[in-house]
Structure 1
Amino acid sequence: MTTILIVDDEYLIADILGFALEDEGYMTVTASNGKKGLDVLTRERPELVITDFMMPVMDGLEFAKAIRAREECKNLPILLMSGAQGALGREHPELFKAVFDKPFQIAQIIDMVKQLFPPDKH
């Protein structure tokens, strides 16, 4: 089962997205900022990261750079969700597989996740 790390300081967004992905057969873990996300990344070894941009402690750009600095995470796909900083995220295609502007349709993110990791058929 594919594990997805969702990092967002808005718990409601993380929970709703997590529940939607779990309904599609994925396992999700969450963190409220990039620093906590790095701890979860080490512990859970997710196959995909979905992160917000604007967060306390460590923003999404700093978080993505910290992920890429880890040898074992060089190819880990990262999806960015952003209310105001989507353009900044798009300037870094080496960090983000895709950028979703808030408010986004959850179906758009689920479609991207399914493209990257087709759900198990069993």
Structure 2
Amino acid sequence: MALIVIAEDEFLIAEVLVMMLEDAGHDVAPAAHGLAALDLVREKRPDLVITDFMMPLMTGLELAKAIRSDDALAEIPVILVSGAQGSIGRSHPDMFNAVLDKPYQEKRLLETVTRLLQQQ
């Protein structure tokens, strides 16, 4: 299946995402913040990125901007999952292919992942 990079600084949320996506058949590379996720994206060229908004060192918006500004990475779909900053993500439709508010339903996240992967 697909390789997905997750940028999430809350360990338990990251673990749940990893298990959910691995159970759906995907390979997952987690990162504890946006800067580490950007390094993974550059190194691994994933099929999709899922990012939180508020993280140390680099926010999800800064991560998305860095991905979009790199011609080699710009077409990678990015999903923002956020508790309070979903409206910020929605105000940047050029940065995020989808925005899901926490708490989100597992089914909805997996449907969004599948839809975006099929559009590639």
Shift in Å, 1:117 = 2.6
Shift in Å, 1:116 = 2.2
Structure 2 residue ranges without an equivalent (≥5): none
Residue 58 (structure 1) aligns with: 58
Residue 28 (structure 2) aligns with: 28
Name the Cα RMSD after superposition. Answer: 1.0
Alignment of 1:80 with 2:80, yes or no, is yes
* CA distance in 1 between partners of 2:78 and 2:117 (Å): 13
Shift in Å, 1:57 = 0.7
* CA distance in 2 between partners of 1:43 and 1:95 (Å): 20
Show CA shifts across 1:58-116 (max 9, x none).
Answer: 11111100111111111110000111110010001101011011111122111111122
Residue 42 (structure 1) aligns with: 42
Residue 98 (structure 2) aligns with: 98
- Supply the AA of the counterpart residue of 1:70: D
* CA distance in 2 between partners of 1:17 and 1:88 (Å): 22
Residue 2 (structure 1) aligns with: 2
* CA distance in 2 between partners of 1:74 and 1:60 (Å): 15
Residue 12 (structure 2) aligns with: 12
* CA distance in 2 between partners of 1:103 and 1:79 (Å): 14
Shift in Å, 1:45 = 1.2
* CA distance in 2 between partners of 1:13 and 1:86 (Å): 17
Show CA shifts across 1:5-54 (max 9, x none).
Answer: 01000111111111111111111000011110111112211010000001
* CA distance in 2 between partners of 1:97 and 1:42 (Å): 19
* CA distance in 2 between partners of 1:46 and 1:11 (Å): 21
Structure 1 residue ranges without an equivalent (≥5): none
- Supply the AA of the counterpart residue of 2:7: V
* CA distance in 2 between partners of 1:3 and 1:65 (Å): 20
Deviation above 4 Å: which 4+ runs of structure 1?
Answer: none
**TM, length-normalised to structure 2:** 0.94
Would you say how many aligned residue pairs link Structure 1 and Structure 2?
118
